[in-house]
Chain A
Amino acid sequence: MTPILELKGITKQFPGVLANDHINLTLHKGEILALLGENGAGKSTLMNILYGLYQPDEGEIFINGEKSMVTSPTDAIDAGIGMVHQHFMLIPVFTVAENVMLGEESVKYGNFLNRDDAAKKILEIGNQFNLPVNPSDMVRDLPVGVQQKVEIIKLLYREAEILIFDEPTAVLTPQEADELFKIMRSLVEQGKSIIFITHKLREVLDVADRIMVIRQGAVVGETTPDEADKNSLAAMMVGREVSLVVEKEEKVPGEVILSIDDLVVADKFQNIVVDHVSLEVHAGEIVGIAGVQGNGQTELVEAITGLRKSSEGQITLMGEDVTRATPRQITELGSAHVPEDRQADGLVLPFPIAENLVLCTYYKEPFSKGVVLQYETILDHAKQLISDFDIRTPSALTPVSNLSGGNQQKVIIARELSRPIQFLMASQPTRGLDVGSIEYIHKRIVQKRNDGCAVLLVSPELDEIMELSDRIAVMYRGNILAVVKRSAVTKEEVGLMMAGIMPESDFKPKEKHVVERTF
């Protein structure tokens, strides 16, 4: 049987980098092919070539056995190729029907939009592929998971046969991800073909029929979920053995380091987003805050680190009331903060690495004497940390903007963890990083915990929370639904709580006075 899609010898050279090196790819009708690789391995380049955004230097594309020229996304759509982007291409203030028909409008009486027609077709597609959406809903009112369904319907509306999913689970809860996988299966059962781009090993093993691993622009292996396991896939991706399990020594938590009592925080629109939260973190333990992004974690972290004022409640750090303290006072107490958005908050991108490594301490001895900065000391300090934390850079004076995401994060980790600290606030410390960097950063965090540091970890990645935490607090709509021991729960239970569903028995949520209060 002719494969529905065949790429032969695709090569793409960018200045200094061979992004795709003679890649061959075959996709058969009705299968899910997973394209696995670290960020920067060349997956996106390949897909952008297929989608007509780049032209290959060499190589050919065959669709249904016919040689095809794809020079623009329009060509790709005409050839039946559709892409679900990581960041949705939807217009929030349009309805589902309007979004779906955009660019492919059905009209009546000359130039008037025929929304009814489109709505009917959307409902048909929804029934056929198990994608229930209401065509007249406004997109901005829909949960993320449903928005993604709208994206898929958009492709099916245009009669796409080959669907490319680019990191589709990044924004989903585990339950929503599982639902997406069911949809993908039903799509291929009805004859569609799917290329699934990801760097998450679990997803590949769950849903793919075949797995292709790309590293440094070249295909390094092809396998199936039956033959492979997480470790072998990670090794293929990274090019060496990777230990996915962080070793943690048993540790009895010490005294309370951080204590949050009945905290209320509002966002910039004055909505209460942290709603009477109480939590304690002890020395030598990692408390993980699980939750889908946007449930108040960001504001909670900002309140703890002094970046945002809380409206009620109290925060105590190492016995001191820091509710109204400034970020610098909190830092000087012996706390460190790995911020959620490393480029916006954690780094001054145009500044050299050396200056970024003293961002929180440059005003103090030994980095300043009087008002004069001691650049020799700052440079020596930078060189030391660059080697200690294995930051890959040509020099200590390279602007941080020139580093890769993983190395930028290492700069922050080096700066924050190299200080003598008793409390670490780590907010999404591995966001967008590759397996190798994640492994490294996890090790460092656990090491700090072993040294007796109290760690509060916030992450929307459930795997990360499960792996690192000693205790888990689940945050949902500004509340902490429950605080449980890691050993007492399964991933599925935490996943359900992240969606706001409390399991019946086993453990009780912390009795709280949240529910009665309304705002």
Chain B
Amino acid sequence: MKREPQKNEKAGDVLLQEINEPHEDQTTHKRSVWNVVAIPLLAILTGLIIGAILIAATSTTVYAAFNESFGQGLVTAWNEVITAYQALFTGSIGDPARIISALRSGDERAIRSAFNPFLESLVQATPYIFAGLAVALGFRSGLFNIGVEGQLFIGAACATYVGYAITGLPTIIHMPLAFLAGALGGAVWGFIPGLLKATTGGHEVINTIMMNWIAFRLTEWLLSGPMNRPGAGGMPISPLIEESAQIPQFFQTPIRFHLGFFIALGIAWLVWWLLFKTKWGLNLRTVGANPRAAKYAGLNVAKNYIIGMALSGALAGMAGGVQILAVNRSMALGLSSGYGFDSIALALIGNNHPLGVILASILFGTLRNGATRMMVVSRIPIDIVDVLQAIILMFVAAPAIIRTIYRLRKPKHEEETVFVSGWGGGQS
């Protein structure tokens, strides 16, 4: 067909849309990369700045200094913030001076312990990666899985049970078996609200929240009843898992860095491959992005919702499983410090992309890990760190705020849907 001698290639569109969205070309393509990373980076920066104000404002020494003189106050505030952030950095990445001197000395133990803060950050990041992947896969499939926390608990319970109840297996079988038991437990816990959504239209947000409570109370009962450690004296705690079920740690205690981190990376790659390279993934993403078009294209929307929820639950179950098998080695109620809920924010920061989830998880693990040292060194309450995290999240989850602060231009088009359509969304 001959090209028409017509410049206005966009004729036929709504005018407003057209003029606001000029043609995509190479330069805008480059800019879109910047668009993807700019928001999280600026959100973190803004979070740190507000955090600094918070640190200064909650410190009694700063107030005392301000009482003496204004200049003194500013200097003290500055020092407090620098100390705190230095502690945050050395606690989560490591002390550069110490690393260099350890490397110089060539002493293996010194090197290991110098790198421990960084390795510990990765340990903290590991459950985040699984849980973040769970939420991201849900979002991609058009599902808002708030039930990651509950699925994580059920997964942990299943992994624990297989870990201690089965004996006499070689590690090569027992460890994967226990890990998969965790995944299966989470999958069942995700499957149920998926089935409810597909068959009755019951919204997964409500049902997964309810499933969370069932999971919490159920594990509580299990730990103080059938799965209670003999001689625990009524404490809700499970027996230790068999050595053959443990995911190995690479170094001697206290360094906890373990194989689970690399399993997480492998699973992230698998999720990426599934979502973006296979027809199953395209099924899920099509249903997630436009259920009506998916139905038109001949997909079974209900079936894909169930699959999406079960897979998401399986990933959440792995988060619980890995934590038991590699770190805790037995299950107690304080298993998770809200991994399941933080992971919603993680998935959003990571743009629901497995690579983004990994990066966001490492950031979170780092913040959590460094917070401990910050608390010790500068006597900043860990709540402030939580507030810091919350602020960063808020900015990332509401990019409009960051765009307004830094006067960024709205991207021409949102990347593939980041969020499911609201209440009752996805029901055609």
Residues of A within 8 A of B (CB): 14-17, 19, 38-45, 215-216, 238-240, 305, 307, 326-329, 331, 337, 339, 344-351, 355, 359-360, 362-363, 368, 371-373, 375, 388-390, 392, 394-395, 398-399, 401-407, 409, 432-434, 436-437, 440
Contacts and interface: CB of A to CB of B under 8 A. Distances in A.
Contacts of B19: 14-17, 19, 45
B18 A399 contact: no
B282 to A, nearest CB: 6
Interface stretch (B5-13, B252-260, B392-400): B5-13
Contacts of B294: 348
16 contacts: A14-B19, A15-B22, A16-B22, A17-B19, A38-B12, A239-B6, A331-B298, A339-B296, A346-B296, A349-B290, A351-B289, A362-B279, A373-B282, A394-B25, A401-B413, A436-B12
Contact of A372 (B10, B25, B278): B278
A386 B280 CA distance: 26
Nearest to B12: A406
Contact of B12 (A329, A375, A437): A437
Contacts of B64: none
A349 B415 CA distance: 10
Contact of A40 (B18, B298, B414): B18
Contact of A371 (B21, B23, B278, B290): B278
What does DSSP make chain B's interface, helix, strand, loop or mixed?
A: loop
Contacts of B10: 40, 392, 404
Contacts of A405: 12-14
Contacts of A373: 277-279, 282
A328 B298 contact: yes
Interface of B: 1, 3-16, 18-25, 277-280, 282-283, 285-286, 289-290, 292-300, 412-417
Given A359-B297, A406-B11, A433-B12, 14 more contacts: A16-B23, A215-B8, A240-B4, A344-B290, A345-B292, A349-B290, A350-B415, A359-B293, A360-B298, A362-B279, A363-B283, A389-B1, A402-B21, A434-B11
Contacts of A359: 286, 293, 296-297
A350 B293 contact: no
A326 B412 CA distance: 37
A350 B317 CA distance: 30
A344 B13 contact: no
Given A239-B5, A372-B278, A406 B13 contact: yes
Contacts of A407: 9, 12
Contacts, number: 159
Nearest to B296: A345
Contacts of B279: 362-363, 368, 371-373
Given A328-B298, A355-B282, A344 B11 contact: no
A432 B22 contact: no
A392 B295 contact: no
Contacts of A392: 9-10
B256 to A, nearest CB: 37
B20 A15 contact: yes
A402 B10 CA distance: 10
A434 B12 contact: yes
B7 A216 contact: yes
A371 B280 contact: yes
Contacts of B295: 307, 327, 345
A326 B297 CA distance: 10
Contacts of B296: 305, 307, 327, 337, 339, 345-346, 359
Nearest to A54: B16
A359 B414 CA distance: 21
A53 to B, nearest CB: 10
Contacts of B3: 390
A87 to B, nearest CB: 12
Nearest to A347: B293
A348 B293 contact: yes
Contacts of B414: 350
